[in-house]
């Protein structure tokens, strides 16, 4: 089938829906999502959205900006971060006006809690900046945005998997999507396309990410020869439920929970004397690994305890009800009585599709854009998270830059005409799908997927080193070769989820390769990228963003400078 829309949004999470809402009245708009929008992973965010409202104590957007820059180990574009910290405030109020049920202070204002790396007066101590709704803030944001979209009669194509971007003569002109229910391919012609497809943590074996987080948008651009930015920076959240990876929000520590080793020692006091358990995530994740390495894991094992029992049952039930529910369901543990066994879990991609502050996709180091193509949210890299994202800033990023991208698209579609598409725009997508359906090579996509996740977790995880990274690159390339021979059993057209997961595996393999190659090349330690063979940050050589592109089957790396406006790089201590 053939469709025409002024604007297309690919992905129904926070960034996509926020952008869609900006296009009301500006032109016809459709949201294409491989899930029902309310299933999007924005809904899994727990602890809050950062904004310097100052509802409990003094707070300034400049402090938020500074914390974000320092938290990202200075690999943060400061112009974009100034927008992030300023606009966070107005967007949080806007969400509240749309009905977002924030928790409240006694005088009826939006409640705020402390969070990792968020400080008052440039690092003096924790500040209450995270605006929250219990431990289900992401759920509330996603629901509120979806509700607002229903109010505005936004067009949705639910359970449509976008499988190709239509880029001709350097202009993005639409997408091809596969309808899960029928197996039909649809061509959507558009003046502007926003990619808001989320993250790709599914390349790691222990992750907090949804099954659907397979990096579809970035991988599709990568395959067309466009670069991705800072792919070596992947955040491991320190507190995932042991082995399962399910996220235990930083809000547990924001509310006063502490990490304990086997001896019952509060080990973060050693690693971060000022912020302690509320140090940024990269620092806490490394501290847990180091404790485990010293034999201080619980029972000598590979995890530590997160203890919140001293907060009292009432506080836990009121402020952390979902965490209590997860622990009871999956561990048979009540956090009001017992500590929670935790270990780092692959959580968030700081890197992704390079964009400017209006969401326009950048094609290289010279600031040139890909007309008609936008990206926002976790799949994008604007870059406000640099080498390590602060807690709460993912939700800020979604709504601030989803909004900015949507607003720019509204102007763009008003000023530009539809461009023609070549005949048979579905040809490449059809060939890829038929290639998988008809393949009799005998390789199993499930086996390749598990091998990929294992090697990425073991070799491209919290601590990295040259030999292990080279081994990972080799292994991923071998898996990519084997992927060419995968066969699937399901040849049907109705809800062929096996085909979908084979396509998703293809995206993950491409992203894993550029991640490992970018990580091997960066011979320093910065934020979430910790090289045991290069333990120091090296501003002289490496205060720059990586751009990784695929050229003739090889990864090509180039670099671009970091935008520094207010805060000169300093040693990063907490």
Partner 1 sequence: MKVTIEIKRFDPERDEKPHWQKFEVEAEPSDRLLGLLQKIKDESDGTLGFRRSCAHGICGSDSMLINGMNRLACKVLVKDLGDHVRIEPLKGLPVVKDLIVDMEPFFEKFRVVKPFLMNDEPPPPTEWTQSPIERALFDDTTKCILCACCTTSCPSFWANKDYLGPASLVQAHRFIFDSRDRGGEERLDMINAREGVWRCRTIFNCVEACPREINITKAIGQLKKALLYNRY
Does 544 sit near partner 1 (CB under 8 A)? Answer: no
Task: Choose the binding region for partner 1 from 140-148, 171-179, 297-305, 562-570 (rule: CB under 8 A).
Answer: 140-148
Binding of residue 521 to partner 1 (CB under 8 A) = no
> What is the bridge-based pairing of β-strands 530-531 and 463-464?
parallel
Helix, strand, coil proportions of the chain in percent (round to 5)?
Answer: 40, 25, 40
In the region spanning residues 246 to 285, those forming contacts with partner 1, defined by CB under 8 A, are 246-247
Q: How is residue 202 annotated by DSSP?
A: G
Contact present, 405 and 413 (Cβ < 8 Å): no
Looking at the Cβ atoms of 95 and 549, the one nearer to partner 1 is 95
Measure the CA–CA gap between 334 and 401, rounded to whole angstroms.
38
Site for partner 1 in 422-481 (CB under 8 A): 444, 446
- Of positions 2, 211, 274, 368, contacts partner 1 by CB under 8 A: 211
CB 33 to partner 1: min, Å: 11
Helix (H, G, I), strand (E, B) or coil at 372: strand
β partners of residue 9? 31, 194
Q: For 39, which DSSP code?
A: G
* Binding to partner 1, residues 142-181 (CB under 8 A): 143, 147-148, 150-151, 181
The binding track of 492-511 with respect to partner 1, each residue x by CB under 8 A or -, is xxxx-xx-------------
Mask for 27-56, x = binds partner 1 (CB under 8 A): --------xx-xxxx-xx--------x---
Written as six digits, the tokens of 530 are 């910790």
Query: Cβ of residue 435: shortest distance to partner 1, in angstroms?
Result: 17
The CB-of-316 to partner 1 minimum distance in angstroms stands at: 15
Cβ(565)–Cβ(403) below 8 Å: no
**Residue with smaller CB distance to partner 1, 107 or 568:** 107
- Closest CB to partner 1 among 104 and 484? 104
Q: Which one of residues 56, 60, 93, 418 is an interface residue with partner 1 (CB under 8 A)?
A: 93
Which region, judged by CB under 8 A, interacts with partner 1, from 133-141, 164-172, 270-278, 398-406? 133-141
Q: Please select the residue that binds partner 1; options are 24, 26, 62, 103, rule is CB under 8 A.
A: 103
Q: Around Cβ 43, how many Cβ atoms within 10 Å?
A: 21
Q: Which stretch binds partner 1 (CB under 8 A): 352-360, 368-376, 490-498, 517-525?
A: 490-498
Smallest distance from partner 1 to CB 377, Å? 16
Alpha-carbon distance of 483 to 470, in angstroms, equals: 20
Q: Does 101 bind partner 1 (CB under 8 A)?
A: yes
Q: Which stretch binds partner 1 (CB under 8 A): 98-106, 164-172, 415-423, 503-511?
A: 98-106
Residues annotated as catalytic (active site), given as ranges = 281
Tokens, residue 21 = 């809402």
562: phi then psi, degrees, rounded to nearest 5: -90, 140
Instruction: Indicate the residue among 431 and 447 with the shorter CB distance to partner 1.
Output: 447
Contact 430, 185 (CB under 8 A): yes
**Element containing residue 167 per DSSP (H, E):** strand 160-168
Token reading at 400? 């601030």
Q: Among candidates 476, 527, 563, 428, which has minimal Cα distance to 73?
A: 527
- Whichever of 93 and 463 has its CB closer to partner 1, that residue is 93
Give 207-263 as a DSSP string.
Answer: BSS-TT-S-HHHHHHHHTT--EE-TT-EEEEEEEETTT--B--THHHHTT-EEE-TT
In this chain, which stretch among 323-331, 344-352, 408-416, 541-549 interacts with partner 1, using CB under 8 A? 323-331
Q: How far apart are CA 516 and CA 232, in angstroms?
A: 7
Q: How far is the CB of 69 from partner 1 (least distance, A)?
A: 26
- Residue appearing with tokens 């204002």: 109
Q: How far is the CB of 88 from partner 1 (least distance, A)?
A: 14
Q: How far apart are CA 351 and CA 385, in angstroms?
A: 8
Q: Give the distance from CA 513 to its chain's centroid.
A: 18
Question: Given candidates 31, 80, 83, 140, which one binds partner 1 under the rule CB under 8 A?
Answer: 140
Near partner 1 by CB under 8 A, which window of 103-111, 218-226, 343-351, 519-527? 103-111
Measuring CA to CA, which residue among 497, 507, 433, 432 is closest to residue 220?
507
**Minimal distance, residue 380 CB to partner 1, in Å:** 21
Cα gap 322→325, rounded to integer Å:
5
Q: Which is nearer to partner 1, 96 or 458 (CB)?
A: 96
Edge-to-edge strand ranges of the sheet holding 125-131: 49-50, 125-131, 112-120
Closer Cβ to partner 1, 210 or 419, answer by number: 210
The yes or no reply on residue 551 touching partner 1 (CB under 8 A) is no
Q: How are strands ordered across the β-sheet holding 258-260?
A: 234-241, 340-349, 304-307, 258-260
Residue nearer to partner 1 on the CB measure, 33 or 530? 33
CA gap 21, 157 in Å, rounded:
16
Cβ-contact 467, 519 below 8 angstroms: no
Q: Which is nearer to partner 1, 62 or 103 (CB)?
A: 103
Q: What residues have CB less than 8 Å from 431, skipping those under 6 apart?
A: none
- What is the nearest approach in angstroms of partner 1 to the Cβ of residue 42? 10
Measured CA to CA, the distance from residue 230 to residue 462 in angstroms comes to 16
Task: Compute how many residues bind partner 1; rule: CB under 8 A.
Answer: 56
Tell me the pairing of strands 234-241 and 228-229. Answer: unpaired
Between 133 and 384, CB nearer to partner 1? 133
Instruction: Select from 278-286, 430-438, 485-493, 566-574 the region that touches partner 1 (CB under 8 A).
Output: 485-493
Question: Which of residues 199 and 386 has its CB atom nearest to partner 1 in the complex?
Answer: 199
Of 193, 190, 216, nearest in space to 2 by CA: 190
| 210 contacts partner 1 (rule: CB under 8 A) | yes
Contacts with partner 1 by CB under 8 A lie at 35-36, 38-41, 43-44, 53, 93, 96-99, 101-110, 133, 136, 139-140, 143, 147-148, 150-151, 181, 210-212, 244, 246-247, 322, 325-326, 329-330, 444, 446, 488-490, 492-495, 497-498
């Amino acid at each position: 089938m053939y469709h025409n829309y002024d604007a297309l949004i690919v992905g129904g999470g926070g960034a996509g829906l926020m952008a869609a809402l900006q296009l009301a009245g500006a032109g016809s708009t459709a949201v294409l999502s491989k899930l029902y929008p309310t299933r999007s992973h924005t809904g899994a965010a727990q602890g809050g959205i950062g904004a310097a409202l100052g509802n409990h104590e003094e707070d300034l957007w400049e402090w938020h900006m500074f914390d974000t820059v320092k938290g990202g180990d200075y690999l943060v574009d400061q112009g974009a971060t100034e927008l992030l910290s300023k606009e966070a405030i107005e967007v949080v109020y806007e969400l509240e006006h749309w009905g977002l049920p924030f928790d409240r202070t006694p005088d009826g204002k939006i409640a705020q809690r402390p969070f990792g790396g968020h400080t008052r007066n440039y690092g003096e101590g924790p500040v209450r900046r995270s605006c929250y709704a219990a431990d289900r803030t992401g759920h509330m944001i996603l629901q509120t945005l979806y509700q607002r979209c229903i109010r505005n009669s936004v067009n949705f194509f639910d359970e449509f998997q976008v499988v190709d971007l239509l880029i001709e003569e350097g202009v993005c002109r639409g997408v091809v999507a596969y309808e899960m229910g029928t197996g039909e391919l649809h061509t959507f012609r558009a003046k502007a396309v926003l990619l808001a497809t989320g993250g790709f943590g599914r390349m790691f074996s222990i992750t907090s990410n949804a099954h659907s987080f397979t990096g579809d948008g970035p991988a599709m651009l990568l395959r067309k020869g466009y670069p991705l930015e800072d792919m070596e920076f992947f955040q491991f959240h320190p507190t995932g439920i042991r082995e399962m990876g399910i996220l235990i929000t930083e809000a547990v520590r924001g509310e006063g929970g502490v990490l304990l080793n086997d001896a019952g020692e509060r080990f973060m006091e050693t690693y971060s004397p000022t912020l302690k358990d509320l140090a940024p995530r990269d620092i806490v994740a490394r501290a847990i690994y180091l404790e485990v390495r010293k034999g201080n894991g619980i029972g000598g094992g590979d995890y530590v305890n997160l203890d919140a029992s001293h907060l009292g049952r009432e506080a836990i039930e009121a402020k952390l009800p979902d965490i209590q529910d997860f622990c009871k369901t999956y561990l048979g543990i009540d956090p009001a009585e017992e500590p929670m066994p935790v270990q780092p879990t692959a959580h968030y991609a700081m890197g992704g599709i390079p964009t400017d502050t209006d969401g326009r996709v950048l094609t290289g180091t010279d600031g040139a854009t890909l007309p008609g193509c936008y990206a926002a949210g976790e799949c994008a890299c604007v870059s406000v998270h640099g080498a390590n994202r602060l807690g709460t800033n993912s939700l800020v990023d979604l709504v601030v830059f989803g909004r900015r991208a949507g607003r720019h698209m509204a102007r763009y579609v008003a000023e530009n005409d539809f461009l023609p598409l070549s005949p048979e725009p579905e040809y490449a997508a059809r060939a890829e799908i038929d290639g998988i359906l008809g393949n009799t090579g005998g390789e199993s996509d499930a086996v390749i997927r598990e091998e990929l996740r294992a090697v990425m977790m073991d070799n491209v995880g919290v601590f990295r080193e040259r030999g292990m990274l080279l081994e990972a690159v080799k292994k991923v390339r071998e898996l990519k070769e084997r992927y060419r021979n995968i066969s699937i059993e399901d040849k049907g057209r109705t809800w062929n989820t096996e085909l979908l997961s084979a396509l998703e595996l293809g995206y993950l393999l491409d992203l894993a390769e550029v991640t490992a190659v970018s990580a091997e090349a960066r011979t320093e330690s910065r934020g979430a990228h910790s090289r045991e063979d290069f333990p120091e940050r090296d501003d002289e050589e490496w205060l720059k963003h990586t751009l990784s592109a695929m050229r003739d089957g090889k990864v090509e790396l180039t670099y671009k400078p970091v935008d520094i406006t207010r805060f000169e790089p300093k040693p990063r201590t907490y």
